[in-house]
Amino acid sequence: PTGAPPLLVVDGLVKAFGGVRAVDGVSFVLRAGESAALIGPNGAGKSTLFSLIACQRRPDAGTVRMEGRLLTGRPAHALAGYGIGRTFQIARAFSSLGVFEAARTAARVGLPRAEADRRAGDLIARLGLTGLADATVATLSYGDIKRLELAIALAGRCRLLLMDEPAAGMAPAERRALMELVGALAAEEGVTVLFTEHDMDVVFGHARRVMVLHHGRLIADGPPERIRADSRVRSVYLGE
């Protein structure tokens, strides 16, 4: 999608905590349809960068624009109005609802009832949650909650989906399956996805663009084949 219009433009973001520059001058452009993985070792600054993009923190410097509109300085609850969804602890807000009801509630924002019901049912099926449609969200297993959060985020028909370690806490096989599903759903739904993951191997099968953060700086950005062969990336991950 090199010719696609810029969806998200991150320009010169900086965020320091005391003496630590957690995010140290990060700039990149994400185009519509171009999903990307942001990887990096623990402490690299991935979550801080996400919190700046998602308006949970204010940067010390730099800006974030979504479809040309300035996002920086807006409250986090304004994100949906910019077409941005995120999976962070969504299910908590829906804990007393049933699984289908939760997805339907999210889909109802901007959709008539019959269409919202169909969309909620489709997404739940795609995420393998049909058998749990009537289960109360609070009773779900950890992995099922992660899948439901994805369904809820997509139900709201965002154009950009932000996910900070969506597969955290899952076993490797389940992590890979979830990441594959994220890729497939993003393509089907035409949603651009930006997600973080600390395990480089988990992302290489599906992400077409990988950005590597180290000490708050982007040290590599490109297709997985190139990233995997990059000497700086190898030294960060493997100590080579």
- 47 in contact with Mg ion (CB under 5 A): yes
Contact range with ligand ADP by CB under 6 A, out of 5-13, 35-43, 130-138, 139-147:
35-43
Residue in the shown chain whose Cβ atom is closest to Mg ion: 47
The rounded distance, in Å, linking the Cα atoms of 195 and 104 is: 24
Residue 42 binding partner per list ligand ADP, Mg ion, none, with a CB distance cut-off of 5 to 8 Å that depends on partner kind: ligand ADP
Distances (CA, A) of 4 to 65, 67, 70, 190: 16, 11, 19, 13
Q: Which of 6, 25, 33, 43 binds ligand ADP (CB under 6 A)?
A: 43
DSSP alpha helix (H) spans, the chain:
46-53, 90-93, 99-107, 113-126, 142-155, 172-189, 200-204, 224-229, 231-238
The rounded distance, in Å, linking the Cα atoms of 214 and 23 is: 9
Q: Which of 35, 45, 85, 227 binds ligand ADP (CB under 6 A)?
A: 45
Contact range with Mg ion by CB under 5 A, out of 45-53, 74-82, 108-116, 180-188:
45-53
- 192 in contact with ligand ADP (CB under 6 A): no
How, if at all, do strands 69-70 and 61-66 pair? antiparallel
- Structure tokens belonging to residue 221: 């950005």
- Structure tokens belonging to residue 19: 């003496």
Which of 47, 192 has the CB closer to ligand ADP? 47
Residues near Mg ion, by CB under 5 A:
46-47
**Which residues of the shown chain bind ligand ADP in the complex (CB under 6 A)?**
17, 20, 22, 40, 42-48
